[in-house]
Chain A
Amino acid sequence: MRHKEIERLIQQRLDRELNPDESARLDKHLARCSECAVFFQEMSQTASLVQQIDEMHPQVGFNARILARLGAKRRFAWSKAGIAFAGSWVAALVFFIYSSLPAQILGRLTTSFPSIVRLSEKVELVITSLSQVLTPVFKNALSSANPAIGLVFSILFVYFLGKALQKEVKCRA
């Protein structure tokens, strides 16, 4: 095979377009022709080094100049803030329900307002009926898992709050 033909095959291999037959022919020739083998090795190395040349960057402040020209605006991350807000409310509610505070408030109200007593009795009756009919097993499981639930909600609250803050810091950078 002539060297010119081999050079065409070498170029095609660097183009990632060599078929298996041509590839085998090229390898066979390279194994016995040192001149072509050196040429192939140098060409491959050159191509591979091009890939490794350093990436460069414009000066600091480039983004700011573009954003200023575009008139880009910061959008408040409503979805993240909403999740953090809802998480904090749920966590606070869980702590409130499982603390002694509701019982103390209810005790005071029953002595002061008889009408509220009647209302609370009705509400209690509805809740008790629902819990007895619908979720006796769930209720037991829930009461034994109280501390864990509180902990999970607290972790979720801290996580989402952290994410929202992180986003805020990134936007300002």
Chain B
Amino acid sequence: MKTRGEITHLIEKALDRDEEACTRILNLYKGRIFSYVFRMVRNYHDAEDITFETFIKCFNALASFDTSKPFTTWLFTIAHNLTMDHFRKHKIELEYCDEFHPSSDDLPREYEKKRKIEQIDQALSQLPPLDRELIILFHKEENTYQEISEIMKIPVTTIKTRLHRARKKLHGLVHKKPEKQ
């Protein structure tokens, strides 16, 4: 994890299109952004395209980035906006479950923990995209409510309510229990 000062220094160099600084920024964040986008769109090539556009937008708009704010929140906001554009373009409903039904045949079953993680990943894919996004941003990326609010442009109170509901849905999917209303 880089300190804010180190990130600011990298950004200053990347503004000048310094290859080494750009590469370091890419290496620091591309995995996190790609994982987040992939878990949202569930298609490798679409995820790669969106991640690509995220970084191009990020580098082109670096001059407008406020260095007093967290860089990751800003980067995730760009990725979120592009992902939402993708959903709109493909007319994917954000509030309801998509039709993705993952096969479990190809999953490694060697370890119980690995199996459980895969099970969670599959259950996540069955959540509506917005619920999925909240779970990933809060539990996987460890963003605060305030940061998620900035990324998704939703009030903190709404995020809390939705996250509680999403977490219960996920629990129901993992433990094969219908969600109680």
Contact = CB atoms under 8 A, between A and B. Distances in A.
A118 B70 CA distance: 69
A70 interface: yes
A46 B17 contact: no
- Most chain A CB inside 10 Å of its own CB: which residue of B56, B142, B164: B164
Contacts of A58: 30, 34, 47-48, 51-52
A56 B31 contact: yes
A75 B18 contact: yes
A88 interface: no
Contacts of B120: 46, 49-50, 53
B22 A46 contact: no
A52 B117 CA distance: 7
Interface residues of A, number: 34
B140 A43 contact: no
B98 to A, nearest CB: 18
The binding surface of chain A is classed by DSSP as helix
B175 interface: yes
Contacts of B52: 58, 62, 65-66
B139 A50 contact: yes
B163 A15 contact: yes
Given A14-B167, A53-B140, A46 B174 contact: yes
A62 B22 contact: no
A62 B48 contact: yes
A18 to B, nearest CB: 13
A53 B34 CA distance: 13
B31 A63 contact: no
Given A47-B167, A58-B34, A171 B174 contact: no
Given A58-B34, A58-B51, A67 B23 contact: yes
Given A46-B120, A49-B116, A50-B139, A75 B31 contact: no
B136 A50 contact: yes
- Most chain B CB inside 10 Å of its own CB: which residue of A14, A50, A55, A59: A50
A70 B56 contact: yes
A114 interface: no
A46 to B, nearest CB: 5
Smallest CB-CB A-B distances: 9 pairs: A50-B139, A72-B19, A49-B120, A11-B164, A55-B31, A72-B17, A56-B35, A74-B19, A58-B48
7 contacts: A43-B168, A45-B116, A53-B39, A56-B38, A57-B31, A66-B52, A73-B17
Given A62-B48, A63-B23, 19 more contacts: A15-B145, A15-B163, A42-B175, A46-B170, A46-B174, A52-B113, A52-B117, A53-B121, A56-B31, A58-B52, A62-B51, A63-B30, A66-B26, A69-B56, A70-B22, A70-B60, A72-B17, A74-B19, A74-B20
